[in-house]
Amino acid sequence: MSEITDPRDELIEHLPAMRAFALSLTRNGATADDLVQDALVKAWDNLDKFEPGTNMRAWLFTILRNTYYSLHRKRKREVEDPDGVLASHLSEKPHHDGRLALEDFKTAFAELTDEQREALILVGAEGFSYEEAAATCGCAVGTIKSRVNRARARLAELMHLDDTDDLEMTDATTLAGLSGASTA
Amino acid sequence: MEEQIDANLRRVYADTVQEEVPERFLKLLDELREKGKAVPDSEADS
Protein backbone atom coordinates (compact mmCIF):
# COMPACT_ATOMS: atom_id res chain seq x y z
CA MET A 1 0.00 0.00 0.00
CA SER A 2 1.14 3.53 -0.61
CA GLU A 3 1.39 5.93 2.27
CA ILE A 4 -1.56 5.75 4.54
CA THR A 5 -2.18 9.20 5.91
CA ASP A 6 -2.30 9.39 9.64
CA PRO A 7 -5.76 10.61 10.64
CA ARG A 8 -3.98 12.75 13.21
CA ASP A 9 -2.52 14.80 10.41
CA GLU A 10 -5.92 15.15 8.85
CA LEU A 11 -7.49 16.65 11.97
CA ILE A 12 -5.98 20.03 11.39
CA GLU A 13 -7.67 20.37 8.01
CA HIS A 14 -11.05 20.17 9.68
CA LEU A 15 -10.32 22.69 12.39
CA PRO A 16 -11.73 25.70 10.53
CA ALA A 17 -14.96 23.84 9.82
CA MET A 18 -15.13 22.62 13.42
CA ARG A 19 -14.86 26.20 14.61
CA ALA A 20 -17.54 27.36 12.23
CA PHE A 21 -19.87 24.55 13.22
CA ALA A 22 -19.18 25.19 16.90
CA LEU A 23 -19.91 28.86 16.45
CA SER A 24 -23.21 28.10 14.81
CA LEU A 25 -24.12 25.88 17.73
CA THR A 26 -22.97 28.11 20.56
CA ARG A 27 -23.43 31.50 18.87
CA ASN A 28 -20.57 32.74 20.99
CA GLY A 29 -16.95 32.87 19.90
CA ALA A 30 -15.33 32.08 23.23
CA THR A 31 -17.70 29.24 24.02
CA ALA A 32 -17.25 27.91 20.51
CA ASP A 33 -13.50 27.67 20.83
CA ASP A 34 -13.75 25.99 24.22
CA LEU A 35 -16.09 23.52 22.63
CA VAL A 36 -13.70 22.87 19.77
CA GLN A 37 -10.90 22.33 22.25
CA ASP A 38 -12.89 19.74 24.22
CA ALA A 39 -14.02 18.01 21.06
CA LEU A 40 -10.51 17.97 19.67
CA VAL A 41 -9.13 16.24 22.75
CA LYS A 42 -11.95 13.71 22.62
CA ALA A 43 -11.41 13.09 18.94
CA TRP A 44 -7.70 12.62 19.49
CA ASP A 45 -8.26 10.11 22.28
CA ASN A 46 -10.76 8.20 20.17
CA LEU A 47 -9.02 8.34 16.87
CA ASP A 48 -8.57 4.58 16.84
CA LYS A 49 -12.36 4.35 16.54
CA PHE A 50 -12.39 6.42 13.39
CA GLU A 51 -12.69 4.28 10.29
CA PRO A 52 -10.18 5.51 7.72
CA GLY A 53 -11.79 6.30 4.42
CA THR A 54 -15.03 7.45 5.97
CA ASN A 55 -16.05 11.06 6.33
CA MET A 56 -13.82 12.50 9.00
CA ARG A 57 -15.59 15.82 9.08
CA ALA A 58 -18.90 14.15 9.83
CA TRP A 59 -17.21 12.09 12.52
CA LEU A 60 -15.68 15.18 14.10
CA PHE A 61 -18.96 17.07 13.91
CA THR A 62 -20.68 14.22 15.71
CA ILE A 63 -18.16 14.45 18.54
CA LEU A 64 -18.48 18.20 18.57
CA ARG A 65 -22.24 18.22 18.84
CA ASN A 66 -22.27 15.46 21.46
CA THR A 67 -19.82 17.53 23.47
CA TYR A 68 -21.98 20.59 23.00
CA TYR A 69 -25.16 18.93 24.12
CA SER A 70 -23.61 17.37 27.19
CA LEU A 71 -22.04 20.70 28.16
CA HIS A 72 -25.20 22.53 27.32
CA ARG A 73 -27.29 20.32 29.49
CA LYS A 74 -24.89 20.91 32.33
CA ARG A 75 -24.73 24.64 31.98
CA LYS A 76 -28.34 25.02 31.01
CA ARG A 77 -29.11 28.65 30.49
CA GLU A 78 -25.71 30.02 31.38
CA VAL A 79 -24.44 29.76 27.83
CA GLU A 80 -27.60 31.25 26.50
CA ASP A 81 -26.16 34.69 26.20
CA PRO A 82 -24.55 34.85 22.80
CA ASP A 83 -22.43 37.79 21.70
CA GLY A 84 -25.32 40.13 22.11
CA VAL A 85 -26.89 38.85 18.93
CA LEU A 86 -30.23 38.14 20.48
CA ALA A 87 -30.36 41.54 22.04
CA SER A 88 -29.87 43.34 18.79
CA HIS A 89 -32.89 44.03 16.71
CA LEU A 90 -33.71 43.08 13.22
CA SER A 91 -34.00 45.91 10.82
CA GLU A 92 -37.47 46.73 9.73
CA LYS A 93 -37.56 45.54 6.21
CA PRO A 94 -35.48 43.56 3.75
CA HIS A 95 -33.53 45.55 1.27
CA HIS A 96 -35.57 46.37 -1.73
CA ASP A 97 -33.25 44.57 -4.07
CA GLY A 98 -34.15 41.46 -2.11
CA ARG A 99 -30.71 41.09 -0.66
CA LEU A 100 -30.54 40.29 2.99
CA ALA A 101 -28.46 42.33 5.30
CA LEU A 102 -25.86 39.94 6.62
CA GLU A 103 -26.09 41.13 10.19
CA ASP A 104 -29.83 40.66 10.15
CA PHE A 105 -29.30 37.22 8.84
CA LYS A 106 -26.92 36.36 11.67
CA THR A 107 -29.36 37.70 14.20
CA ALA A 108 -32.20 35.70 12.73
CA PHE A 109 -30.07 32.59 12.51
CA ALA A 110 -29.21 32.86 16.19
CA GLU A 111 -32.91 32.73 16.98
CA LEU A 112 -33.35 29.26 15.55
CA THR A 113 -33.38 26.28 17.85
CA ASP A 114 -30.18 24.25 18.30
CA GLU A 115 -31.59 21.47 16.15
CA GLN A 116 -32.59 23.81 13.38
CA ARG A 117 -29.24 25.58 13.35
CA GLU A 118 -27.22 22.42 13.16
CA ALA A 119 -29.42 20.84 10.49
CA LEU A 120 -29.31 23.94 8.35
CA ILE A 121 -25.55 24.37 8.70
CA LEU A 122 -24.83 20.76 7.84
CA VAL A 123 -27.12 20.64 4.84
CA GLY A 124 -27.16 24.24 3.67
CA ALA A 125 -23.62 25.36 4.41
CA GLU A 126 -21.49 22.22 4.63
CA GLY A 127 -23.32 20.49 1.83
CA PHE A 128 -23.89 17.27 3.76
CA SER A 129 -26.48 14.98 2.27
CA TYR A 130 -29.60 14.53 4.37
CA GLU A 131 -28.32 11.05 5.14
CA GLU A 132 -24.95 12.31 6.33
CA ALA A 133 -26.58 15.02 8.40
CA ALA A 134 -28.95 12.49 9.94
CA ALA A 135 -26.06 10.21 10.83
CA THR A 136 -24.14 13.12 12.33
CA CYS A 137 -27.09 14.17 14.45
CA GLY A 138 -28.19 10.67 15.30
CA CYS A 139 -31.70 11.09 14.00
CA ALA A 140 -33.88 10.02 11.09
CA VAL A 141 -33.43 11.45 7.62
CA GLY A 142 -37.00 12.74 7.70
CA THR A 143 -36.28 14.56 10.92
CA ILE A 144 -33.36 16.38 9.34
CA LYS A 145 -35.48 17.31 6.35
CA SER A 146 -38.20 18.79 8.45
CA ARG A 147 -35.71 20.64 10.66
CA VAL A 148 -34.11 22.17 7.60
CA ASN A 149 -37.48 23.14 6.21
CA ARG A 150 -38.63 24.63 9.46
CA ALA A 151 -35.35 26.48 9.86
CA ARG A 152 -35.68 28.02 6.42
CA ALA A 153 -39.29 28.94 7.01
CA ARG A 154 -38.43 30.50 10.33
CA LEU A 155 -35.58 32.51 8.84
CA ALA A 156 -37.81 33.71 6.06
CA GLU A 157 -40.31 34.78 8.66
CA LEU A 158 -37.73 36.55 10.79
CA MET A 159 -36.24 38.23 7.77
CA HIS A 160 -39.65 39.25 6.51
CA LEU A 161 -39.07 37.26 3.38
CA ASP A 162 -42.48 35.70 3.44
CA ASP A 163 -43.77 38.31 1.03
CA THR A 164 -46.74 39.05 3.24
CA ASP A 165 -46.48 42.37 4.97
CA ASP A 166 -48.47 41.57 8.05
CA LEU A 167 -45.33 40.93 10.04
CA GLU A 168 -44.38 44.54 10.14
CA MET A 169 -43.27 44.66 13.72
CA THR A 170 -39.68 45.43 14.47
CA ASP A 171 -39.50 44.38 18.05
CA ALA A 172 -37.50 41.18 18.26
CA THR A 173 -39.18 40.12 21.47
CA THR A 174 -42.58 40.48 19.92
CA LEU A 175 -41.41 38.33 17.07
CA ALA A 176 -40.02 35.78 19.46
CA GLY A 177 -43.30 35.63 21.30
CA LEU A 178 -45.17 35.18 18.08
CA SER A 179 -42.96 32.38 16.93
CA GLY A 180 -43.39 30.53 20.17
CA ALA A 181 -47.06 30.32 19.48
CA SER A 182 -46.64 29.29 15.88
CA THR A 183 -44.30 26.36 16.29
CA ALA A 184 -46.90 24.02 17.79
CA MET B 1 -36.30 32.56 -1.02
CA GLU B 2 -34.56 29.32 -0.13
CA GLU B 3 -31.69 30.31 -2.36
CA GLN B 4 -31.33 33.66 -0.66
CA ILE B 5 -31.26 31.99 2.70
CA ASP B 6 -28.71 29.40 1.71
CA ALA B 7 -26.54 31.99 -0.01
CA ASN B 8 -26.42 34.03 3.17
CA LEU B 9 -25.84 30.96 5.21
CA ARG B 10 -22.87 29.94 3.12
CA ARG B 11 -21.47 33.45 3.23
CA VAL B 12 -21.63 33.68 7.00
CA TYR B 13 -20.26 30.18 7.34
CA ALA B 14 -17.46 30.78 4.86
CA ASP B 15 -16.42 33.90 6.75
CA THR B 16 -15.86 31.81 9.84
CA VAL B 17 -14.19 28.96 8.01
CA GLN B 18 -11.74 31.37 6.43
CA GLU B 19 -10.59 32.71 9.75
CA GLU B 20 -7.14 31.63 10.66
CA VAL B 21 -7.00 28.81 13.16
CA PRO B 22 -5.98 30.31 16.49
CA GLU B 23 -2.62 29.43 17.88
CA ARG B 24 -4.14 27.62 20.85
CA PHE B 25 -5.36 24.79 18.66
CA LEU B 26 -2.06 24.27 16.96
CA LYS B 27 -0.43 24.21 20.37
CA LEU B 28 -3.02 21.78 21.63
CA LEU B 29 -2.38 19.43 18.73
CA ASP B 30 1.35 19.61 19.41
CA GLU B 31 0.75 18.84 23.05
CA LEU B 32 -1.45 15.89 22.23
CA ARG B 33 1.18 14.61 19.87
CA GLU B 34 3.88 14.93 22.50
CA LYS B 35 1.73 13.21 25.06
CA GLY B 36 1.20 10.36 22.64
CA LYS B 37 4.94 9.93 22.26
CA ALA B 38 5.60 10.01 25.96
CA VAL B 39 3.14 7.22 26.66
CA PRO B 40 3.52 4.60 23.96
CA ASP B 41 0.47 2.75 25.17
CA SER B 42 0.80 -0.68 26.67
CA GLU B 43 4.18 -1.81 25.44
CA ALA B 44 6.24 0.50 27.61
CA ASP B 45 6.79 -0.11 31.31
CA SER B 46 5.99 -3.50 32.69
Question: CB of B39 within 8 Å of any CB in chain A?
Answer: no
- Residue B12: give the domain boundaries: 2-39
Average of per-residue pLDDT values in chain B: 82
- Integer CA distances (angstroms), B6 to A108, A151, A155, A179, in order: 13, 11, 10, 21
Residue A40: CB atoms within 10 Å: 23
ipTM: 0.80
Class of domain A11-83: mainly alpha
What amino acid occupies position A6?
A: D
Q: How confident is the model over A83-126, as pLDDT tens digits?
A: 544 444 444 455 555 555 788 888 899 999 999 999 999 999 99
Nearest CA in chain B to A25: B13
Mutation target vs B (from A36, A83, A90, A112; most B CBs, 10 A cutoff)? A36
For chain A, the domains span 11-83, 86-184
Q: Cβ B28–A17 below 8 Å, yes or no?
A: no
Helix (H, G, I), strand (E, B) or coil at A44: helix
In a domain, B46, yes or no: no
Q: For residues B8 and A102, is the Cβ–Cβ distance under 8 A? A: yes
- Integer CA distances (angstroms), A126 to A11, A14, A20, A100, A105, in order: 17, 12, 10, 20, 17
Which residue of B1, B4, B16 is in closest CB contact with A19?
B16
What's the rounded mean pLDDT across residues A8-37? 93
Average of per-residue pLDDT values in chain A: 80
Helix (H, G, I), strand (E, B) or coil at A41: helix
- Residue A147: list chain B partners with CB under 8 A: none
Question: CB of A130 within 8 Å of any CB in chain B?
Answer: no
Domain count, chain B: 1
Whole-angstrom distance, CA of residue B18 vs CA of residue B14: 6
Q: Cβ A124–B21 below 8 Å, yes or no?
A: no
Q: For residues A83 and A28, is the Cβ–Cβ distance under 8 A? A: yes
Nearest CA in chain A to B25: A37
Q: How confident is the model over A123-146, as pLDDT tens digits?
A: 999 999 999 999 999 999 999 999
B9 phi, psi to nearest 5 deg: -60, -50
- Residue A33: list chain B partners with CB under 8 A: 22, 24-25
Q: Cβ B8–A100 below 8 Å, yes or no?
A: yes
Residues with Cβ within 8 Å of A82's Cβ and at least 6 positions away in sequence, in order, are: A26, A27, A28, A110
Q: How confident is the model over A45-75, as pLDDT tens digits?
A: 999 999 988 899 999 999 999 999 987 766 6
Q: Cβ A23–B8 below 8 Å, yes or no?
A: no
Q: Cβ B12–A15 below 8 Å, yes or no?
A: no
In a domain, B31, yes or no: yes
Class of domain A86-184: mainly alpha
Predicted model pTM: 0.75
Mutation target vs B (from A123, A152, A154; most B CBs, 10 A cutoff)? A152
Q: Cβ B24–A125 below 8 Å, yes or no?
A: no
